Chain A
Amino acid sequence: DIVMTQSPTSMSISVGDRVTMNCKASQNVGSNVDWYQQKTGQSPKLLIYKASNRYTGVPDRFTGSGSGTDFTFTISNMQAEDLAVYYCMQSNSYPFTFGSGTKLEIK
């Protein structure tokens, strides 16, 4: 199975900060990585698909990049409503696997 190693586990940030998190795949997954946002008590929401494509309605402060084994997710101008846990997932081959999540907290 492909292991998605996500870092950091948590981040303390301030509104307006630039936030960057990473996922490293244990083998080449091409561009088949998605990023999800899960707010407390809510279902996950797709933000980025195929590594760098913003899903419909997602603000442009959210961006994704990478290919192969190394992927990055960035929030360019952190807003209070962006507090959540963010997960990466590889959809290159079954079993699809998620990273362990990055929790954003207010500093």
Chain B
Amino acid sequence: EVQLVESGGGLVQPGRSLKLSCLASGFTFSNYGMNWIRQAPGKGLEWVASISSSSSYIYYADTVKGRFTISRDNAKNTLYLQMTSLRSEDTALYYCARGGDYENWGQGVMVTVSS
């Protein structure tokens, strides 16, 4: 069974940093591109970043480019999202998702940016 478990969220002050993790199991992690998608409270879905299976290709939404860094460790079956210079508008539930069509999603981890 495919499982994606996000962690690392919490309450953080504006301008600070936070690193999210997504631990994958139930499939060969190194064979799949991975993604981060977020959902602000009561709002729709917003794609954040994607990384190819070997980290050769990386893409970011303009809203996070230069502030967020997506990475992965295939030996640890883990996807990361390093978030810096956080803003109130980054407050959201952050999901990791597998593959090009987002076949599987984690349960999400909440990030709240507030003073």
Give chain B residues whose Cβ lies under 8 Å from the Cβ of A98: 44-47
Answer yes or no: B66 CB below 8 A from chain A CBs.
no
Answer yes or no: B101 CB below 8 A from chain A CBs.
yes
Q: Is the CB of A44 within 8 A of B102?
A: yes
Answer yes or no: A12 CB below 8 A from chain B CBs.
no
B56-86 residues with Cβ-Cβ distance < 8 A to A are: 59, 61-62
Q: Is the CB of A95 within 8 A of B45?
A: no
Number of B interface residues in the complex (CB < 8 A): 18
Contact mask A75-94 → B, CB, 8 Å, 1/0? 00000000000010101001
Q: Is the CB of B47 within 8 A of A97?
A: yes
Q: Is the CB of B106 within 8 A of A43?
A: yes
Tell me which of B61, B101, B108 contacts A43 (CB under 8 A): B108
Give chain B residues whose Cβ lies under 8 Å from the Cβ of A44: 45, 95, 102, 105
Q: Is the CB of A96 within 8 A of B101?
A: no
Least distance between B37 CB and chain A CB atoms (Å): 8
Q: Is the CB of A45 within 8 A of B46?
A: no
Give chain A residues whose Cβ lies under 8 Å from the Cβ of B108: 43
Answer yes or no: A101 CB below 8 A from chain B CBs.
yes
Give chain B residues whose Cβ lies under 8 Å from the Cβ of A87: 44-45
Chain A residue at minimal CB-CB distance from B35: A96
Q: Is the CB of B47 within 8 A of A45?
A: no
Q: In the complex, what distance in Å separates the CA atom of A34 from the CA atom of B61?
A: 19
Answer yes or no: B100 CB below 8 A from chain A CBs.
yes
Task: Give 30 A-B contacts (CB < 8 Å), ordered by A residue.
Answer: A1-B62, A34-B102, A36-B45, A36-B102, A38-B45, A43-B95, A43-B105, A43-B107, A43-B108, A44-B95, A44-B105, A45-B105, A46-B104, A50-B101, A87-B44, A89-B45, A89-B47, A91-B100, A91-B101, A94-B50, A95-B47, A95-B62, A98-B44, A98-B45, A98-B46, A98-B47, A99-B44, A100-B44, A101-B44, A101-B45
B residues at A contact (CB < 8 Å): 44-47, 50, 59, 61-62, 95, 100-108
